[in-house]
Structure 1
């Protein structure tokens, strides 16, 4: 039976905020869009964003620029910062306020309520309680489903990108410049691999926190876009800069979940098991210091004290305010036996955000023709060595709009030939799920222990040895077995982990999220 092929103008891999916003912009301009996602529409990292989104409408957002640069430890790309600061307010107003009418929290006079988070010197973050990401993504998902021209395909896992060099049936195409024309994707409902042939392909697959043992990311966030882009020759940058969020709920037997930085913005402080504030002597901003500083301080404290976790003390906040401003966190902690109006929240750090990724310009273009990357998958240099809180959702909106604008201009003036993709041939063997789970767990433990919050040359060398040996087994495993979502995830996880370790080993300078301990 011949392979099924689907043609489209724009192929978007990932249906979080970045991918969905791009799809809306493209479809409203009359382009056909295929929007693929691993799972259901709201199973994206964007959905779990609690704190909010920056809405800085100051005539001169100089303070915002300074806060982003300071959080990055002086390494961020000024051009990317300027783009976010200058184009961000309009992107928020047009899509979130005017179009989707998101119910952001407001004051008694109807004004938008502004919050402050770690690394910010001013209140400039709008929010919907502590479920901002969910409010935004659920609204945009509804809009996507009602927009003609967009075909949403949930349960589709991209296997590999299609390039003229490797996947065209025309042998002369291998002499063309490096060019993407879509992807092979697995329909998990049928087990069939489908070829999506596109004039523009957009990687919006989210982050890579899932390669670490402890993470705030959605299941499956193992750097799919990074791994696929690497295999076709795309440039990657800043992968050593993995941000660890300092406050993730910790209790034995409980699923960890993010405790928003907005709590500290409202007055909560980090304390040890005896109630002592240990951040005040670490940084002038205390518990509101940038995330990399707080995460390392918590990690150092746990190592020195032998305690299993730190605590977030909310005693400065009134109980009624906690329940009204942070209802989701209140309810979720209460379900695990912790009443945060009466007692502190037990917290530990966890992998949260990849500041690096597939290198792009400010229009989302990679070094591979017709291949774009946006959102957490991409790296414009906006975050440098460390991301400022609540910039990620705004980055999704700004990047999606810029990439769609550039793509629409090119699609209007250029006709791209539609190559025929080579047939996909699947092996007959079925992968052993036990082996997949074991290998993935080994990757996560190795990355957490040797390439996590605090690194050293010796730890990174050990991680590389373990992962290289494991990659040989996984590659042989992958070649012999029919693709499944779990097997594709494992293949991309081992590749992404090695790329992060390699980037970390090449950079001997401690900056932001990347911290190299002295000695070995």
Structure 2
């Protein structure tokens, strides 16, 4: 199977790239391991996307991005997203796709712009507390009108194809490192087949599932990071994993409680009702995410309390239900009426600020491979992501990557495709109990030793555990029948090790990476 552009991942970054390329007539194959294209991290994004506030400017947004990123944000990346982002939001999301963002009742502005932590003014567009799903649905509907966009669901990328690794011609090892597509598993049939592509774009999202507690959906196993790592792509800033400070603390599992709630006046309190965040930062409950997450963590350690509480019950009940219908419904289903009582919350792994190193067009160091969205590291987030920059980054880099790859292909350049080695099948049945136990070992090790607070002793202990587990999983994988679960486990341990090794090398505390030693 051949295509002009293979895009792995159907969230906002992948969809933006696909739509931009399709507009220029490129043939696009959009791949997702989920049974439905809507299932992605984008779909679960609640808070919103940065637009442009009253008296706002690109310079003000750059300043906020750099401040939140602990000074490690790339000035070029911050400048690019601040210039291009609001324009693309208007041109694509508002004018072209008609995403139904919430409008204001005030005469001074059309949109209901909200504030979020570490922003100097209100500039966040939203659609209630379901912004991501509104954007995702609009993109999927629009792409259906382009016959040259082929959508493959229930298809798992197993490995990136490179000329040096997979060509049957031995002399190809001397060619420059080049990606030519991917091996893909059809989950229904178990068949593994190559998709050859002139250009490949990774848009696989995050890696939160390597931690015990996360806001991320089931597929965020670090698949893109692991595939890129094995193929020889440069991955940077992997130690900077952002922990969202407020996830619903309930036996049924974690559920993201949007930062927009604090932007709308919700207060973080301890079990006695005291606003404890003022002890850790002058901005209190609106401090940057990493500060708030560690503040909650420290309060829990000192008090022995199992969680903190987020209280918005002082706001009018109708206003709370109107602004946060999804969160309200979920909490009510679990027995918490947030218009009358506080929500129990704890931190959880939320966003990877690092990833595959890319330039302003999403290009990696591996020829013909690009990465966009959370799997990439454009330098925008530095050591800590500013709230609501993630969807904007997806839109900007996804659009630019799609436009440039389609333009290169339209020029009629020659693309070399070698003969690919056939897949060698193994048939040993996979015991789900082994996969479940290995995942538990990864997640508990990462949470306890490579989580919110790190130290040399903790990281060394994690290294011993994960290194041995990595060898065991590789031996397991070599003989096992390849399934989506087996692919995920192999990628999960590789991603966990990448985070760990980066954390071991970074000896100073910065942003999300906090060391007590």
Regarding TM over 0.5, the answer is yes
1:38 & 1:52 partners in 2: Cα distance? 25
Indicate the residue corresponding to 1:60 in structure 2: 57
CA contact (8 A) 2:19 2:402 kept: no
CA contact (8 A) 1:144 1:150 kept: yes
Deviation at 1:89? 1.2
Indicate the residue corresponding to 2:17 in structure 1: 22
Q: Quick check: 1:353 aligned with 2:348?
A: no
The alignment covers a number of residue pairs equal to: 512
CA contact (8 A) 1:47 1:134 kept: yes
Deviation at 1:182? 0.2
Indicate the residue corresponding to 2:341 in structure 1: 343
> When the two structures are superposed, what TM-score results if normalisation uses the length of structure 1?
0.97
Deviations 1:166-199 (A, max 9, x none): 1112222221000000000100011000100000
Secondary structure in 2 matching 1:104: coil
Indicate the residue corresponding to 1:77 in structure 2: 74
Deviation at 1:59? 7.0
Q: Let me know the Cα RMSD of the aligned residues.
A: 1.0
Taking the TM superposition and a 5 Å limit, the aligned residue runs for 1:277-292 are 277-292=275-290
Secondary structure in 1 matching 2:150: strand
1:345 & 1:126 partners in 2: Cα distance? 24
CA contact (8 A) 1:55 1:125 kept: yes
Indicate the residue corresponding to 1:51 in structure 2: 47
Deviation at 1:138? 1.1
Indicate the residue corresponding to 1:3 in structure 2: none
Indicate the residue corresponding to 2:327 in structure 1: 329
CA contact (8 A) 2:45 2:131 kept: yes
2:84 to 82, 87, 93: 87
Secondary structure in 1 matching 2:278: coil
CA contact (8 A) 2:117 2:287 kept: yes
1:381 & 1:56 partners in 2: Cα distance? 22
Query: Larger deviation: 103-112 or 380-389?
Result: 103-112
Q: Quick check: 1:411 aligned with 2:409?
A: yes
1:403 & 1:59 partners in 2: Cα distance? 27
1:51 & 1:59 partners in 2: Cα distance? 19
1:171 & 1:409 partners in 2: Cα distance? 32
Secondary structure in 2 matching 1:213: coil
1:180 & 1:281 partners in 2: Cα distance? 50
Gaps of 5+ in 2: none
Deviation at 1:265? 0.4
Secondary structure in 2 matching 1:158: strand
Deviations 1:30-64 (A, max 9, x none): 11111000101121000111000000266732211
CA contact (8 A) 1:145 1:152 kept: no
1:96 to 93, 103, 106: 93
Taking the TM superposition and a 5 Å limit, the aligned residue runs for 1:92-131 are 92-108=89-105, 109=107, 111-131=110-130
CA contact (8 A) 1:266 1:317 kept: no
CA contact (8 A) 1:130 1:329 kept: yes
Deviation at 1:261? 0.5
2:489 & 2:104 partners in 1: Cα distance? 47
2:306 to 303, 308, 321: 308
CA contact (8 A) 2:30 2:152 kept: yes
Gaps of 5+ in 1: 1-5
Deviation at 1:335? 0.2
CA contact (8 A) 1:209 1:222 kept: yes
2:467 & 2:118 partners in 1: Cα distance? 37
2:11 & 2:132 partners in 1: Cα distance? 10
1:491 & 1:111 partners in 2: Cα distance? 48
